[in-house]
Structure formats: structure tokens, C-alpha cells
Amino acid sequence: MRHEHFETLAPICVVCREGDVAHSLVLRPGAREDQGHVLEGMLRCSNAACQREYPILDGIPLLVADLPSYVKQQGAALLERADVSERTEAWLADCLGPGTDFDLRRRHLSSYGDAHYRDLDADERARHGSLASLWTALARLAGPLPEGPRLDVGCAVGRGAFELASEGEGALTLGIDLNYSMLRVAASALRTGVVSYPERVVGVVSERRTRALTTLRRTRVDFWACDALRLPFRDGRFAVTSALNVLDSVSSPSELLRVLHRVLSPRGLALLASPYDWSDAVTPMAQWLGGHSREASHRGSSTTLMHELLANGSLGFELVAEHENEPWVLRLHERSQITYSTHLLVGRKR
Ligand SMILES: C[S@@+](CC[C@H](N)C(=O)[O-])C[C@H]1O[C@@H](n2cnc3c(N)ncnc32)[C@H](O)[C@@H]1O
Ligand SMILES: [Zn+2]
């Protein structure tokens, strides 16, 4: 956690917030720091009646309401060691086998590491459907970004936040996610300038990939563990928010749109991309935006419904621009990939 981000964004306690009453967090003395980053420490709610503590680990503050559940869910990732060689890691992967937490974490890191950073190899073909190309299309739609802090929601391994931070004149930017192992890759790339992740070859076999982030501006970026539906910020903190491929990854996409609107300042921009790949296991069907109700005015089309929701002003946005089909390619292993077609939208807070 960078001091600059903590001071500028002044995070609030997500437990004792009630309506407009919110309490700031303070950094407890005795934190372990390195070059402006707090690597390990404790934040505490300033409300005497609450005093909830939020830990900082690997430079990542964990600002979630139900910490015991979070730690239980992400425990294996939180405790995963970073000091083992590639050879030992391969041996562990063989022993643990497919479908385990370890295997699923590595598959996610492989797919998102590839989508976010494969274009850095300077191979033009690698750019097709990469996060960088998706971001470029979205930034072009949005035009010049308003001045002020920027937030990338569901940042995964971090590329969108690096891009957001560099756009135009640049600005202080925060990436948030709940997936600890992805955040750790992002936070490590931020501090070292090198991104490193396992790239899946076949089955449980992976090879470690490292790439230097020489062309990306890292100085004003930070990564925090936060729930997108319960952001630890006062209203109007950000001039720009982005959520790439996140609407269909949360339990309530309409709540996500409300939260993005809440944390934006007046005239602030929301940059959205989605393949509308709804799944009942992640988002209960009643919460999907489209994907059901063929008899409704949107005829079950998520594209039409999202267009209507932004254009008719009911969410407090006006529609600035949209683009129907932008490719997004997620690599699964050396012989398999998924190609999505994403819908891009830019909304401005009215
Ligand atoms: C499909 S991925 C997209 C990642 C990245 N934006 C991209 O386009 O490559 C969705 C991301 O949202 C994150 N996510 C899901 N629910 C979340 C929540 N409630 N709060 C924060 N992040 C969440 C996931 O951990 C995952 O990294
Ligand atoms: Zn509190």
C-alpha cells in the first residue's frame, strides 16, 4: 500500500459505515515499509465504538467486511510460499493434481497473466484480443479523461490499472480485486517492474513466464483487496472508474453499477466492457442483466438492456459512447483459448 494512495483516497471502515456517516482508517505504528510502500502492517477504524482492524500483507491492504470468511476462502493463496523453485512448484502441481485450489489458482494466473501481458513480447499477433487492445478500444471511446483519481474494479493481475494510470496526463490509480493470488502478482509487478506467473502448457504442467514492464508507468498505481460491491470509499472519490469483464463476475451487476456511480464525482466517467457470459453459480439468474425474459422489451438481450439502462438515465448516467463487438481472448492452455466478443460502454455521471 502506497502512502500517497492511502492519504489521497482516505479509505473508510466498511463495517461501521451507516448512510452518510463513515469513519476513516488510520495506519497503526510499527508497519514494515520499503520505498513508500507499506508491506506489512495494520489499519484501524478511527471510530472508538468499532476499532475494526484491517491487515496489510505483501503490500496489499485487506479492506473487506468479513475478514474471517475472506481469510478462510483465500487462506491457501495467503499462505502460499513465494520462495520455491519452478522445479519444486512442478513437483507440487503433480502431487496435488487437477481440480485442486492450487491447480485452479494457477489456471487463473495463467489465463489472466497471458491476457494482460502477452503483448509485451512485441509480437503484433499477441495483441489481438489482449487486455491492452480491449483497453485501447475503450479509452478511444471515452476520449479525454477528467482530472482526478481513477479506479479499476476487478483488476485481476493489474494491466487495466497500469493502462488507466497512464492514459492522457496520467493520474493516481487504484486497482481492486478480491482474488488474493492475482493481486499478489499485480502488487509484485508494481514494486519490481517484472511480472511473473505460471503459464499453463497442458494438464497440470506449467512454465514460469516473466516479462519486464518497461513500457508501463507504475509510479502512481496501487492494488488493494476490496469487495467491488462494498467499496471502502466516501462518495465521489474518483473521476474515472473502469470495470472490464466484471459485470458477469459479481453476485449483483446492478449493485455494481450503483456502487460505481456512488464513488464517481459529478461528470465522472464509468468505462465498462462485458461479454455477458452469465452463470447462475456466480450471479443468480434473477440478477442477470438480460440473458432471460425474451418477452421483455429488451427481448433477453444484455446489449440492449445495458444500452437502455445507461441511455435512459435511470442509473444516474448518460451514455457517452458504445461499441458492440470487441474481441477478448483468454488462453486456457497451449492448444485452447476462448474468444469472447465484448460490449463496450462509456457512461458519464449526471
Ligand atoms: C473475468 S475477470 C476480469 C479481470 C480483468 N478486469 C480483465 O478484464 O482481465 C473478473 C474479475 O473480477 C474479480 N471479482 C469478482 N467479484 C468481485 C468482487 N465482488 N469484488 C472485487 N473483485 C471481484 C475476480 O476476482 C476477477 O479478477
Ligand atoms: Zn469501523
Annotate 38-92 with DSSP letters as a single string. Answer: EEEEEEEES-TTT--EEEEETTEEB--S-HHHHHHHHHHHHH--S---HHHHHHH
Q: Which of 162, 178, 277 to mutate to test the pocket of ligand 1 (most atoms within 8 A of CB)?
A: 178
Centre of ligand 1 from the C-alpha of residue 155, in Å: 6
* Distant-in-sequence, close-in-space partners of 129: CB < 8 Å, separation ≥ 6: 115, 327, 328, 329, 339
Whether the CB-CB separation of 39 and 56 falls below 8 Å is answered with yes
* pLDDT at residue 298, as a whole number: 86
* Distant-in-sequence, close-in-space partners of 238: CB < 8 Å, separation ≥ 6: 148, 149, 150, 151, 263, 264, 265, 268
Centre of ligand 2 from the C-alpha of residue 328, in Å: 40
* pLDDT at residue 19, as a whole number: 85
* Distant-in-sequence, close-in-space partners of 346: CB < 8 Å, separation ≥ 6: 138, 141, 142, 269, 270, 271, 272, 319, 320, 321, 322
* pLDDT, tens digit, 9 for 90 and up, residues 275-291: 999 999 999 999 999 99
Q: Which of 62, 176, 177 to mutate to test the pocket of ligand 1 (most atoms within 8 A of CB)?
A: 177
* pLDDT, tens digit, 9 for 90 and up, residues 191-249: 999 999 999 999 999 999 999 999 899 999 999 999 999 999 999 999 999 999 999 99
Centre of ligand 2 from the C-alpha of residue 18, in Å: 10
d(CA 5, CA 223): 10
* Distant-in-sequence, close-in-space partners of 80: CB < 8 Å, separation ≥ 6: 105, 181
Q: Which atom of ligand 1 is nearest to the CA of 328?
A: 8
Residue with CA nearest ligand 1 atom 27: 156
d(CA 63, CA 176): 10
For residues 314-330, average pLDDT:
98
* Distant-in-sequence, close-in-space partners of 273: CB < 8 Å, separation ≥ 6: 134, 138, 243, 244, 245, 326, 328, 342, 343, 344, 345
Asked if the model's pLDDT at residue 122 lies above 80, the reply is no
Centre of ligand 2 from the C-alpha of residue 24, in Å: 8
Q: Which of 179, 233, 344 to mutate to test the pocket of ligand 1 (most atoms within 8 A of CB)?
A: 179
Residue with CA nearest ligand 1 atom 25: 179
d(CA 205, CA 295): 47
* Distant-in-sequence, close-in-space partners of 128: CB < 8 Å, separation ≥ 6: 327, 329
Phi/psi for 85 (5° steps) reads -75, 165
Centre of ligand 1 from the C-alpha of residue 48, in Å: 33
Q: Of the ligands numbered here, which is closest to the C-alpha atom of 25?
A: 2
Helices and strands per DSSP (H, E), number in the chain: 10, 14
Q: Which atom of ligand 1 is nearest to the CA of 273?
A: 8
* pLDDT at residue 296, as a whole number: 85
Share the mean pLDDT of the chain: 96
Measure the CA angle with vertex 304, ends 301 and 306; round to 5°: 105
CA torsion sign, 34 to 5 to 10 to 131?
negative
Q: What is the DSSP letter of 295?
A: T
* pLDDT at residue 309, as a whole number: 96
For the chain, the structural domain boundaries read 3-78, 84-349
Whether the CB-CB separation of 248 and 136 falls below 8 Å is answered with no
Query: What's the pTM?
Result: 0.97
Centre of ligand 1 from the C-alpha of residue 49, in Å: 33
Q: Of the ligands numbered here, which is closest to the C-alpha atom of 283?
A: 1
Which stretches does DSSP call E strand in the chain? 25-27, 32-34, 37-45, 53-57, 60-61, 150-153, 173-177, 194-202, 205-212, 221-225, 238-244, 264-274, 317-333, 336-349
- Number of neighbours of residue 313 by Cβ within 10 angstroms: 11
| Domain 84-349: homologous superfamily in CATH | Vaccinia Virus protein VP39 (3.40.50.150)
Report residue 297's pLDDT band, with 50, 70 and 90 as the boundaries: confident
For residues 59-66, average pLDDT:
98
Residue with CA nearest ligand 1 atom 12: 154
* pLDDT at residue 125, as a whole number: 83
Q: Which atom of ligand 1 is nearest to the CA of 108?
A: 27
Pocket of ligand 1 (CB under 6 A): 112, 115, 131, 154-156, 160, 176-179, 182, 227-229, 244-246, 249-250
* pLDDT, tens digit, 9 for 90 and up, residues 168-196: 999 999 999 999 999 999 999 999 999 99
- Within the chain, what is the greatest distance between any pair of CA atoms? 60
Whether the CB-CB separation of 233 and 11 falls below 8 Å is answered with yes
* pLDDT at residue 121, as a whole number: 87
d(CA 269, CA 319): 10
